[in-house]
Structure 1
Amino acid sequence: MLMRTLRLGGRLGLFAIVLLLCSLLAVAVSLTEWTIRRPIDRTPFARACFQLASRCLGFQVNVRGQRPDGPVMLVCNHISWSDIPILGSIVPLRFLSKAEVRNWPVIGWLAKQAGTLFIRRGSGQAAAAREDIARTLRERQSVLVFPEGTTSVGITVLPFHGRLLSAAAEAGVPILPMTIGYRRDNHPDPLAPFIGDDSFDRHLVRLLRQPAVTVDVVLHEPVSVAANDDFQVLARQLRATVEDGLQTIHNCPDKPGATPDYPASRPRLGGA
């Protein structure tokens, strides 16, 4: 119990320091933009903040696959709020997030400063969100979408919604599927999922009390898309790729130096 309390106190202290530093950086960037009268690409600064947050929160992240060298639409399974700092630490990107996050104390303000695109679920805003994503991609900034639309328990992947995928075709960029999985003692971590009516603060405390969790992230092969593709079929294809990656993560023996043999993504879906 003492060890858990000390661990929690230390990590919360570091997390608070990181939030303060990131807030000061956001203010400095905003002041610089106001001074020079033009916007600044905030993704490199956001990535640095995500890297600091992931380290102080105790995530041991393993990355497999090739990072994109240009703008892409990234799609990934969604398990927890912690997916965001972890994935944001790997690739410079902007997120599409539920509108409720904007109201989280400090975190919501920082998400807005990092250029997060917000969508209110069930409000008919998919078309506007798709236009925002396409515009951001045309500006050569990658965007990450969680096409499940909600978080899962982390042992399977929920159905993907395809209504936002056409933004990649509109912008002329590929879609890069990603898989994220949390492991503790070589089993799916039961603490990581942020589901149901759980609150951010209670979940954060439970997670930080425990030893570091291993997080595996797989970047699959990018998939080319065209305007005449069937995006509902494409959504099922992408979901199958991400599901394959998740099952491989949790079936991989946790041996020192071992690297999971993740499956390659499936071939491009042709247009109709």
Structure 2
Amino acid sequence: MRRLRRVLRLARLLAVLGLGVVLAVAVGPLERLGRPRQVRPRLTRWFLARLAGCLPFRVRVHGQPGAEPMLWVANHVSWTDIPLLGALAPLAFLSKAEVRAWPLAGWLAQCGGTLFIRRGAGDSGQLGRQLAAQLRRGRPLLVFPEGTTTDGQALRPFHGRLMACAADTGCRVQPVAIRYRRAGAPDPLAPFIGDDDLVSHLLRVFDADPGEVDIHLLPPLAAAGVPRNQLARQARAAIAEALGLAPVPVPEEVAEAA
């Protein structure tokens, strides 16, 4: 029974990925026929909603996304965060550069308008201008300010440089808390951390019974005139509270380095 369940889930996933290839090839001609700023975000959201539907999770969303373009900031547990959150709004994403090399998934992400960042890259000013440009185009942008995934039971410091674009553009910040549970406890299967590879992680999740995901869209934060590191601490505190985590202060020197 478990093997049949895995086969059926994989078949559905492959069908959706095949559809994603068709959409990625078609997006250029569709943009030339329609409104370029609207076609790609809408198709990306539609595709990610289909992809999220393939994942064995029961999802509960608490709160509503705002109509205005905002900088979404979320804790980061797994690659599955992206389709689950991308199904909620026509988001652009910031991702680590390594994702672009993932077979098929990296190409689809690039076609969907994902921005890629090299870890340790020194030009934070150029990155900030890229992120601000996305917000000025009227497209909400999602970043994971921890800079890496965790097991979901703690929060790393938030990188303030990833949030400077909100203050620069006057856009508000939308904190998002995502939590994975299984049998009433933190989900040990969902986190994509350490030496995990995409295929092994996918098969592990697909072999299991459905888990539960709670997504909390928290009250937006005003960003205009707020120093980026203060904004990062505010967003981190709001997400920690929603996740029921004890607020661990971030030393000022750590926040500045971020």
What's the TM-score, normalizing by structure 1?
0.86
Query: What is the match of residue 191 of structure 1?
Result: 189
Residue number in structure 1 paired with 2:117: 119
Number of the residue aligned with 1:218: 216
Which segments of structure 1 move beyond 2 Å, counting only runs of 4 or more?
31-41
1:233 aligns with 2:230: yes
Match of 1:69 in 2: 67
How far apart, in 1, do the equivalents of 2:139 and 2:38 lie? Answer: 12
1:225-248 alpha-carbon deviations (Å, 9 max, x no partner): 123x22212211211110111128
Counterpart for residue 258 of structure 1: none
Separation in structure 2 between the aligned mates of residue 122 and residue 41 of structure 1, nearest angstrom: 33
Task: State the secondary structure of the residue aligned to 2:180.
Answer: strand
Q: Report deviation, 1:166.
A: 1.5
Query: 1:141: which partner in 2?
Result: 139
Q: Secondary structure at the match of 1:8?
A: helix
CA–CA distance in structure 2, aligned partners of residues 226 and 120 of structure 1: 27
Percent of residue pairs identical: 46
More displaced 10-residue stretch of structure 1: 232-241 or 96-105: 232-241
Deviations 1:97-141 (A, max 9, x none): 001111111100110111001111101142222111101101100
Question: Which range moved further: 157-166 or 83-92?
Answer: 157-166
Deviation at 1:35, TM superposition (A): 6.1
| TM-score, length of structure 2 as denominator length | 0.91
8 Å CA contact 1:29, 1:40 repeated in 2? no
Task: Output the aligned Cα RMSD.
Answer: 1.6
Separation in structure 1 between the aligned mates of residue 14 and residue 167 of structure 2, nearest angstrom: 40
Higher helix proportion = 2
d(CA) in 1 for partners of 2:127, 2:182: 36
3-state DSSP of counterpart to 2:160: coil
Which AA in structure 2 matches 1:242?
A: I
1:61-210 correspondence runs (5 A): 61-210=59-208
Query: Which residue matches 2:49?
Result: 51
Aligned counterparts of 2:66 and 2:128: Cα–Cα separation in 1: 21
Contact 1:154–1:193 under 8 Å retained in 2: yes
Per-residue deviation at 1:33?
A: 3.2
